Amino acid sequence: MAEYKNPNQQGGQDSSSLLVYTLIFVVVLIGMEYFRPKPAPTAPAAQPQSQNVAPAASATGAPSAALPSLSAKAAATAVPTQAAASESTTTIENSLYSITFSNRGAQVTSWILKGYTDDAGKPLDLVNAQAAQSFGFPLSIYTYDANLRTQLTQALYVPSATGTLTAPAQLSFVYAAGGLEVKKTFHFDSSYVLHADVSVTQNGAPVEALLAWPSGFGDQHAGTGSTRGMSSYQAQLDTFSNGKADSVAAKKVSGGGTQNEPFDWAGVSDLYFAAIFLPDAPSQSTLVSLSNVLPATTGDAAARLKNGIPILGAAVGVANGTTSLRIFVGPKKLSLLHSIRGSAADGKTTGPDLVPIVHYGIWSFLAKPLFYALRWMHNHVVSNWGWAILLFTIVITLAMLPTRITMMKSSIKMQRVQPQMNAIKEKYKKYKFDDPRKRDMNLEIQQLYRDEGINMFGGCLPMLIQFPLIFAFYAMLENAIELRHAHWFWLHDLSAPDPYHILPILMVVSQFAFQLFTPTPGVDAAQQKMMAFTMPLFSGFITWHYASGLALYWACSNLIGIFMQLGINRTSLGKELRAIQAKRAAKKQGKPALARR
């Protein structure tokens, strides 16, 4: 994986080959930047959930059916008032999470995942407290009437229990006043999935009320200084409809947009965690996308919004006012996502799984097998992700050894026919570039290659095959939650950049050494020096800003490559290439060449 340098350069191909490699380096750099999630620009804000108490209002303006007209006195007598006298909390626990509900709004104020920590080493709370204060708390009710939505999130519901409950458990909330009646019931088991039933009526008529996760996740923070950079802020709207999964980046999500489709599942996720709704009746489902920006902590108002964190949310329910669905809130772990499926037409949970919310991009066909292989090594060979990466690197690098040998053989063949190639070029040197007779020169060179059994791309293709592997490995490491906060010596998080910059420095030194030990007889000395410095600096830049797991893989690959190249240099192939290189260098300096042993 470390060999960006092609040892098959020859005199007649110097300029074009250098251009090819330069373009490759640029493509790699642009590719890395392209596939690395970027902070999204300010999205159109959805109507925020106001924290001020407001009176109930009819849902006029909502796409649901109009409410029947009843007098306020009749409505008040139809539904007895049910409201708590004071605010209280209820906590539900199992081995995976601890969820705290407030009876104010019957919504979640804390959702701690016991198996994960934040960047400060504390238990990870998936409720983004800062964003929730502005945009709403998880499992709140979303309605199209802003005043009604405010009342529903501020009302003091009557809970079925307070204190701490251990799953399996059930928790219900009820609220009634002025003709408005609300009931929310949640069922908990030993998994990351819970079930919810929500109904809202006004004067006896159903109101379209959706269950919402409006304010992103607790690992998304405004401001600067995160060791993970901006990658963990990646937010996307995930859906599965009509047999197709779709993930829409934050910058393309319109806040407040409604989609009425048969959603098997829909929700939001960031790089490592997700909140996905799985309706019991997909054919009746409705999705409202919520998009806001959590301002940065520094700069003026415009700069704070520009540099803020995109906060995505989703509200899912059914149009008849009674919502019944399951909710997955947890890590984007492939083995877990495989087991969670949407509801089929017969009501059984045999629909599509949640695996598509892990988004590897166009390298998915390579990234998934790479991860499965890496996970196998971690589970069966060595139980540390850092050592698993190193072992995996050794296997891949040894598997690529035949391509290195193929490149050297091709280079030797090209050097052997170099005099004939120069003679052909000299023959047609007097003709201009656009002269038709230049085509005859190319035909003669191609015939020479065929006669000598040379594949003109033999030196490039083996190397180019390795570039997709780099992109796939990067995509795999970037999305593997298993590497989040995984330790290896001084590295406390293999998904974040090396905090001490040891691996980037090792990357630069090893890349330079690799260039030094690789014979390049067909490359001009000035070009060779330029490449010897360009590639290490390029590699150092990449590993300086990306996951240290990738830097560990790349640096280890370089070190193994150096030892392999030193061994190859002692073979007959290596000796012949080095002799050709010495001869060409001596010829340019006007000195007799001395064969190297």
pLDDT tens digits along 321-342 = 789 999 999 999 999 999 999 9
Percent of the chain whose predicted confidence (pLDDT) is above 90 = 47
Q: Read off the pLDDT of residues 506-519 as tens digits, 9 standing for 90 and up.
A: 989 998 888 778 77
Q: How far is it, in rounded angstroms, from Cα 503 to Cα 363?
A: 25
Q: How far is CA 93 from the centre of its chain?
A: 29
Longest dimension (CA), the chain: 111
534-578 tens-digit pLDDT? 778 888 888 888 889 989 998 998 899 888 888 888 888 778 777
Tell me what pLDDT residue 221 has: 66
pTM of the model: 0.78
- Is the model's pLDDT at 95 over the cut of 70? yes
Residue 66 has pLDDT above 70, yes or no: no
Q: Could you identify the residue written with the tokens 């074009």?
A: 16
Q: Closest Cα partner for 298 from 308, 313, 288?
A: 308
- Strand 244-249 relative to strand 97-102, pairing: unpaired
What mean pLDDT comes out for the span 145-167?
A: 96
Chain-centroid distance, C-alpha 583: 50
- CA dist 11 and 17 (Å) reads 10
Q: Say what percent of the chain tops pLDDT 70.
A: 79
Pairwise CA distance, residues 147 & 144, whole Å: 9
Q: Can you tell me which residue has the tokens 């059984």? A: 348
Report angle CA 190, 192, 194 to the nearest 5 degrees: 80
Domain layout of the chain by residue ranges: 11-35+460-588, 74-223+233-359
**Can you give the length of the chain in residues?**
597
Mean pLDDT of 72-79: 50
What tens digit of pLDDT does each residue of 173-203 get? 999 999 999 999 999 999 999 999 999 999 9
- Write down the pLDDT at residue 521: 61
Structure confidence at residue 457 (pLDDT): 67
Answer yes or no: are the C-beta atoms of 193 and 127 closer than 8 Å.
no
Interatomic CA distance for residues 220 and 53, integer angstroms: 28
Report the chain's mean pLDDT, rounded to a whole number.
81
pLDDT of 236 reads: 94
328 and 193 in contact (C-beta within 8 Å)?
Answer: yes
Average pLDDT over residues 495-504: 92
Does the structural domain 74-223+233-359 have CATH classification 2.70.98?
Answer: yes
